[in-house]
Amino acid sequence: MKDNWFFKLLIVSCSIWSATALNSAWRWECIGGFCQKRRINNSTETGAISLSVCQIFCSNNAALWPKPTGKVSVGNYLLPINANSIDIAGIAATAPSVSILRHAVQRLRQQTEQKGSAKARNKGGRAAFFYFDIADTSIVDPVLRIDESYSLFVSESSSGSLNVTIKAQNAFGARHAIETFGQLVVHDDLRDELVVPRDVEVEDAPVYTYRGLTLDTSRNFISVEAIKRNIDAMAASKLNRFHWHITDTHSFPFYSKSQPQLSKLGAYSPKKVYMPDQIEDIVEYARVRGVKVVPEFDAPAHVGEGWQDSGFVVCLNKQPWELYCVEPPCGQFDPTEDGLYDVLGDIYGDMFELFKPDIFHMGGDEISFSCWRSEEKILNWLNARGWNSSSEEENFTKLWNLFQTKAIAQLDFKAKTTLPIIMWTSELTRKENIQKYLPKDRYVIQVWTEGSDPQIKDLLDANYTLILSNYDALYLDCGFAGWVAGGNNWCSPYIGWQKVYSNSPYNISAGRTDQILGSSAALWTEQVDDSSVDGRFWPRAAALAEILWSEPKTTWREAEPRILIHRERLVRDTGVNAEALEPEWCLQNENNCPQN
């Protein structure tokens, strides 16, 4: 597939190009699979090619991101497209998932309009009609393991319009095809025209089913608007899971209908609360973009603000914090408090109602035994039950297990079904504990330790299913100033997109990819809020998107020209403030910047 692209001869023909003066002093030539910038000698050169057109015909995989896993074939003929005339032709209006397709085509129309100038939009061009062939039109939620494959065909119909034919197993595969088509619609800025290649065939399917971003909204609040912007960028990159670490010790921004005092006491301000209608809005916004929200209620550690009056939290802001938790302020549930579990049940119930999750995250990381040890009340309780076995660790592991057992009983009661549960790696997921405490048919383990952690092999050997968020490649908050000390923060240095791109699940699992559900790149927001959230995620999250969609056997070097192109798309089409990776000169002179 790639080799064809490398040696492809660039003969682009276009029905609209005429000998009118061009807007630019530059045109592009395809040399060895890379677009190169050249001066225009004659302002009416008819064959002069713009950068955006060159990228489609010359860059590998038609400059698509993430790169398709099957056939990519693009002819060498361009047609002008009319942004005001992009419509659906072939699908029954009554099909349950038709609204997903309508939404995606509407989004395409808006993005196409934004690409060109007003003049380009009003120049006319061909109408485009979408014909859908969807095997199962009843799927209306992008749940785990649905088949997201698609094929896309673009041709010119006998009436001269563009025929965009999409085949997929369900609307979410078809939605991906519309994203792919959108990447092929470009603005030719030499002639100020919106154009699209005429003869296209793409066959595509993702390698992993769980392709996510993890966002913390407790350390700092992130607005609904910023969350939506990032979901848009996810959709444009074919990511499909928004893992929402909504609460933590620092603040409790989740409005629980049954326990409203939690956000009243625990939010940073009355404005920094996610109200039920806002959460439903985000869940729906994500759904029509093929993204499923995974709510997390992290416990028994990572709780504090909001619980002041409950009597269920110990070590709240206990100092010196280093002794009782990993970062200030400390806070942890006291599992011996019986009243705690009804309140947890209320929170789970409220979350299920709003998120309608297909998998739920119970957190479970960084439990501090020294916090529990510092509480006389807890020690007495343990002693009273004779839970003072020969090892202290065993005492507390039992206590932790008691918490997890009682919490999940509440969860199951509220869910009225047995949802799969995600838990972070912890003491409980270690080889000697996990099979005793967390049955593999129920729990998916999200790995946050290093990619080389031997625990990964242990978990795979014990037949657990994993999600990878190994901090050495997927913690996007690493590499900034320290905030509990001088110097840099704990997981420095900064993780470049190349490192994200090299974090292959295939390599990490030693080829046991059937046990890897996928990965999620995490953004912990101690040092991030609305003003920088976009740039921390993007374009590095796009590097993750391609690794998970395509599991490429090639290196970041092959992807470099395309990620520069995709970064431009993200900024222009989704409004996300993705960071620049290189000087624009490198975008305009492909393959001239990275060393060989």
**Site for ligand NAG, rule CB under 6 A:** 19, 41-42, 44-46, 131, 153, 155, 157, 163, 165, 379, 382-383, 386, 388-390, 392, 395, 462-463, 502, 504, 507
Strand-pair partners of 195: 80, 186
Minimum gap (Å) between residue 503 Cβ and ligand NAG? 7
Where are the alpha helices (H) located in 59-142, listed in sequence order?
Answer: 98-115, 118-121
Q: Which is nearer to ligand NAG, 169 or 502 (CB)?
A: 502
The residue with tokens 């939690």 is 262
Helix, coil or strand: residue 164 = strand
Minimum gap (Å) between residue 97 Cβ and ligand NAG? 21
Q: Which is nearer to ligand NAG, 252 or 396 (CB)?
A: 396
Minimum gap (Å) between residue 28 Cβ and ligand NAG? 12
Q: Which is nearer to ligand NAG, 57 or 274 (CB)?
A: 57
Helix, coil or strand: residue 305 = coil
Q: How many C-alpha atoms does 316 have within 13 Å on its Cβ side?
A: 19
**Secondary structure of 18-60 in HEC code, one letter for each residue:** CCCCCCCCEEEEEECCEEEEEECCCCCCCCCCCHHHHHHHHCH
| Pair 202, 180: CB distance under 8 Å | yes
Q: Which is nearer to ligand NAG, 41 or 417 (CB)?
A: 41
Minimum gap (Å) between residue 93 Cβ and ligand NAG? 18
Is there a cis peptide before residue 206, judged by omega within 30 degrees of 0? no
**Start-to-end Cα distance in the chain:** 22
Nearest to 73 by CA among 13, 131, 152: 152
| Pair 191, 183: CB distance under 8 Å | no
Minimum gap (Å) between residue 565 Cβ and ligand NAG? 21
**Secondary structure of 446-501 in HEC code, one letter for each residue:** EECCCCCCHHHHHHHHCCCEEEECCHHHHECCCCCECCCCCCECCCCCCCCHHHHH
Q: Which is nearer to ligand NAG, 384 or 481 (CB)?
A: 384
Minimum gap (Å) between residue 195 Cβ and ligand NAG? 19
CA distance 248 to 330: 10
The residue with tokens 């299913």 is 465
> Which helix (H) or strand (E) is 360 found in, with range?
strand 360-363
Pairing of strands 126-134, 162-168: parallel
Which segments of 227-310 are extended strands (E)?
241-245, 292-299
Q: Which is nearer to ligand NAG, 163 or 465 (CB)?
A: 163
Q: 574 phi and psi, to 5 degrees? A: -115, -10
Catalytic residues, by residue number, are: 366
| Pair 87, 129: CB distance under 8 Å | yes
Minimum gap (Å) between residue 557 Cβ and ligand NAG? 11
Helical packing angle, 556-569 and 540-550, nearest 10°: 120
Minimum gap (Å) between residue 390 Cβ and ligand NAG? 5
Minimum gap (Å) between residue 47 Cβ and ligand NAG? 8
Nearest to 230 by CA among 500, 582, 542: 542
Q: Which is nearer to ligand NAG, 185 or 286 (CB)?
A: 185
What the block records as the tokens of 445 is 């383990």
> Which helix (H) or strand (E) is 217 found in, with range?
none
Q: Which is nearer to ligand NAG, 46 or 114 (CB)?
A: 46
Q: Which is nearer to ligand NAG, 264 or 442 (CB)?
A: 442
The residue with tokens 């007495």 is 380
| Pair 573, 107: CB distance under 8 Å | no
For 71, other C-beta atoms within 10 Å of its C-beta total 11
